[in-house]
Chain A
Amino acid sequence: MSASADIDLTAAEQERQERRREILAAVLRVLIPVMAALVMGGIILLILGKNPLDYYGFVLRRGLLTWGGLQETLTRMAPLLLIGAGLIVAFRAGIWNLGTDGQFLIAAVLSAALAPALITVLPDALTIIICMVVSMLAAAIWSLIPAILKARYGINEIITSLMMSFLGVSFANVLVKLFFRDPATTVPQTMSLAVEDRLPRLFDTTIHLGLIIALVVIVLVHVMMTRTAFGLKLQVVGANPAAAVHAGLRVGWLTIATFAISAGLIGLGGAVEILGVWGVVRADWNPAFGLLVVPLVFLARFNGYATIGFTLFFSALMIGGDSAARRVGVPNDFVLVLVALLLIFLAVVEYLDHLRRKKAGA
């Protein structure tokens, strides 16, 4: 009797230890790539004759530790989180939607074109809601061609969505220059939405409502993908399309739905950025957030909550990096290098972890 209780106890203890080790491993899988990328980036800065501690210190202070910088960082999170939410849906369903920039810009331009016109006849709230819906629909429609080509003919969506992205960026410019141009300005841009008509600010800050929308959306997306039948179907398609067909899932339709939802959320990101921050789209404006969010979503292993954390980290890096370009003299293209290093080290750590598990399994 007492002997078996002892055994139970040790089994429970072992399980607890096992779980602790797993958590530690999960934390390390994230921390190691981040640290390695920062160190490697620091070495590159050293080679270029800049003090990496100055740079990182400045970025940290400017991006997180000053009130103004923190507000900018939190504001920047809104579009990034929405893009992240869109990518989570796609990646979990095994779809490489790399058409983010086109979808984002088309949506942004439509919001910028519609809002100033609608505001003259409709109440504020209605204008903003209509703009968001139209932007989401437009982005979803823009993703239809890659979606259908993938669903019907199995054509690699990486290439087609990238092509549609290039097309979308140019098309957004054409819209600004030829159709929605504000005749009163010399540089081509859309009419602008007055500051008081934009998304309401939160309390006394410069942060707009878009951040709340984005946070709610990414949590909803996480719940949808992990806790609903629809989300689980998408995950089955992502994990094993052949098995999904055998299980009687309509893979074609699910593929198209995935693309539409993913693009729609990314489009919402474009709408929020315009309705909340800029109020206008200038010709040739393209923040190119798309590919930058990809590593964040990977780091978070497609987990919505973790994505929030990484987006905060990355927003601070972007905002701090912008100021560092002026003050420390390191161009903010350096952020691209950091992102690349992050992706590479992430993949390497993942690989080492895979080896470790394989060895443990064998």
Chain B
Amino acid sequence: MNALLAQPFLTALVFGAITAGIPLLLAGLGEQISEKAGVLNIGIEGMMLFGAYAGFVAAYYSGSFLVGFVVGGLGGALVAALVMLLCIRFGLNQIVIGIAVTLGFEGLTAILHHFQFSRTYPRLAAAPVVDIPGLAAIPVIGPGLFSHNAMVYLAVALVAVLAWAFRHTYFGLNLEAAGNKPAALDAAGIDVMKTRTIAVLCTGLLAGVGGAYMANVGAGIFVPFMTGGAGFIGIVLAMLARGRPLWVLLGALLFGVSLSMTTALQVAGVNIPTDVVQMLPFTMVMLVLVIFARHSVLPPALGLPYVRGDR
């Protein structure tokens, strides 16, 4: 049992929690933007997977992690553009299209991987790490918290930026109106379609970057179906956070800890089925939902297409 308190275990746990939490954070923030604007983005899993695949291929052939992130984000946004066209322009059922996008890109990325790499799983070099001066030298938690890829710090900074933007910019307020009372936004002379379009594209971008982070930095390889429900966890985080980015961050870290438990316990030599640990985050979500059931709030116009003149 002593091994559990030893430094390598704790460092691995903290480091793993951040690494596992960042894709969830990005997905959760992305989903939050969509949900605020009244679009329930069930297809976010597909956006993450395509971002992961596109980002991985880009990083693999260019040798640059930056290119990987950019292409991953664009890949996610491309999927989002499809969702935008079908759900916002045509007003098709967001749940049906969401399921389609998730299934379709699960299949498509698996096939593309098969034709590109056959049965091999090439590995990227370790991602570059930025040490925060001073803080990274703190024993035990320092290496776990302050010695990460630059994307980690960017993602955390994004939490603050979004929290500010949601409250203090016209864009943030427009988003909120598009989800709460689209007709009012329309009456104020602002294009609901355009607001929602931008929101969904932002979601795709963030989900794609999250996927690319998962493949390139987290795993170093691309494996078909590798997101394994991360997008759905993002949806739950956004739902529980009730529009506040900071809560998405806290939730993502909580999930990150329980996900990294598996690897950390193996480092410590404890042997329990990984499934037990994989159940932890979902159990936690369900518990939170049961306990705080009355407090989860979604925008009234969530999931409904906006048609001018319709009641």
Contacts from A to B (Cβ < 8 Å): 44, 48-49, 96, 98, 145, 149, 152-153, 155-156, 158-160, 162-164, 166-167, 170-171, 173-174, 177-178, 291-292, 294-295, 298, 330-331, 333-341, 343-344, 346-348, 350-351
Contacts and interface: CB of A to CB of B under 8 A. Distances in A.
28 contacts: A149-B289, A155-B293, A155-B296, A156-B239, A156-B298, A158-B42, A160-B286, A164-B286, A166-B229, A166-B232, A170-B275, A171-B275, A173-B275, A291-B99, A291-B103, A331-B111, A333-B106, A336-B103, A337-B104, A337-B107, A340-B107, A343-B99, A347-B86, A347-B96, A348-B92, A350-B92, A351-B90, A351-B91
B93 interface: yes
A289 B239 CA distance: 27
5 closest cross-chain pairs (CB), A and B: A340-B104, A336-B107, A343-B100, A333-B110, A337-B107
Nearest to B282: A167
Contact of B108 (A162, A174, A337): A337
Interface string B106-136: 1110110011000000000000000000000
A153 B86 contact: no
A174 B275 contact: yes
Given A149-B289, A170-B282, A159 B235 contact: yes
Q: Is the interface of B mostly helix, strand, loop or mixed?
A: helix
B146 to A, nearest CB: 32
Contacts of A164: 282, 286
B276 A174 contact: yes
Interface in B166-182: none
A254 B108 CA distance: 39
Contacts of B236: 159, 163
B34 to A, nearest CB: 14
B219 interface: no
A23 to B, nearest CB: 24
Interface in B34-93: 40, 42, 86, 90-93
Interface in B153-192: none
A358 to B, nearest CB: 11
Contacts of B275: 170-171, 173-174, 177
B278 interface: yes
A167 B290 contact: no
Interface in B274-311: 275-276, 278-279, 282-283, 285-286, 289-290, 293-294, 296, 298
B198 interface: no
A34 to B, nearest CB: 15
B294 A153 contact: yes
- Greatest chain B CB density within 10 A among A155, A341, A343 is at A343
Contacts of A336: 103-104, 106-108, 110
A42 to B, nearest CB: 14
A44 B109 CA distance: 12
B52 to A, nearest CB: 15
A160 B289 CA distance: 8
Interface residues of B, number: 45
B273 interface: yes
B266 to A, nearest CB: 15
Given A149-B293, A152-B293, A333-B110, A340 B115 contact: no
Contacts of B289: 149, 155, 160, 163
B25 interface: no
A344 B232 CA distance: 20
A348 B293 contact: no
Nearest to B272: A178
B268 to A, nearest CB: 20
Contacts of B90: 347-348, 351
A351 B296 contact: no
Nearest to A171: B279
Given A156-B239, A164-B282, A337-B104, 17 more contacts: A98-B99, A155-B289, A159-B232, A159-B239, A163-B236, A167-B279, A167-B282, A167-B283, A170-B276, A173-B275, A177-B273, A331-B111, A333-B224, A336-B106, A343-B96, A346-B96, A350-B92
A22 B91 CA distance: 24
Contacts of B96: 298, 343, 346-347
Contacts of B91: 351
B193 interface: no
A40 to B, nearest CB: 11
Nearest to A347: B92
B278 A170 contact: yes
A170 B272 CA distance: 13
Interface string B227-240: 00100100110010
A331 B229 contact: no
A162 B45 CA distance: 13
